[in-house]
Copies of this chain bind each other. A is one copy, B any other.
Amino acid sequence: MMTGFEPHDHVGCIADAMSAAEQRCASRSLRLTAVRRQVLEILLQEHVALGAYDILEHLRLAGFNSQPPVAYRALDFLVTNGFAHKVERLNAFIACSYPGETHSPAFMICRNCDVVAETRSTPVKGSLGAAARSVGFRIERTVVEAEGLCPLCQEEAI
């Protein structure tokens, strides 16, 4: 059930995510405008994280003549509403692999090929949560990212 490293039906993967986004926006009366839809599609094309300026390039190829704030706003919308995440380690963005389910994402980032896989994490249940409780820190959001080598790049490295 891991996207990213394992091969999978990527066309379906994209279609599912888009229709999930449609429905979710409809039911919450969020406006999935042209720019936002386009940015989400761009992110869904690949399981790598794209920088805001990568997004901008793709937007221009798609006929939008956009400046940086346009990309950042669309990304902010997608992140805020759970359709995408920011990968802090890369200052870049990636489509969510589990849209519709509220969750704390965790990422595995291959330092060689830049593929990113998302999984769900439960950081509040682990040592971090214990530390937070012991000092009275109230966790609102967590960033959990692992950097390393994906299965394919491990083979190559041999």
Give complex CA distance A127, B118 in Å: 12
Give complex CA distance A147, B141 in Å: 5
Stretch in A35-43, A68-76, A129-137 with 4+ CB within 8 Å of B: A129-137
Encode contact with B along A113-124: 1 for CB under 8 Å, 0 otherwise: 000010111110
When the two chains form their complex, are residues A2 and B131 in contact, meaning their CB atoms are under 8 A apart? yes
Asked if A44 is at the interface (CB within 8 A of a chain B CB), the reply is no
Give complex CA distance A119, B131 in Å: 7
**Known A2-B131, A140-B147, A143-B146; further 18 A-B contacts with Cβ < 8 A:** A2-B135, A5-B136, A89-B143, A106-B127, A108-B135, A121-B127, A121-B128, A123-B146, A126-B126, A136-B150, A136-B154, A137-B146, A137-B151, A139-B146, A139-B148, A140-B148, A141-B148, A142-B147
14 A-B pairs with CB atoms under 8 Å apart are A2-B134, A5-B136, A6-B135, A106-B127, A106-B131, A108-B132, A119-B128, A121-B127, A125-B126, A126-B127, A139-B148, A142-B147, A143-B144, A144-B144
Question: Which A residues are closer than 8 A to B by beta carbons?
Answer: 2, 5-6, 88-89, 91, 106, 108, 110-111, 117, 119-123, 125-128, 131-132, 134-151, 154
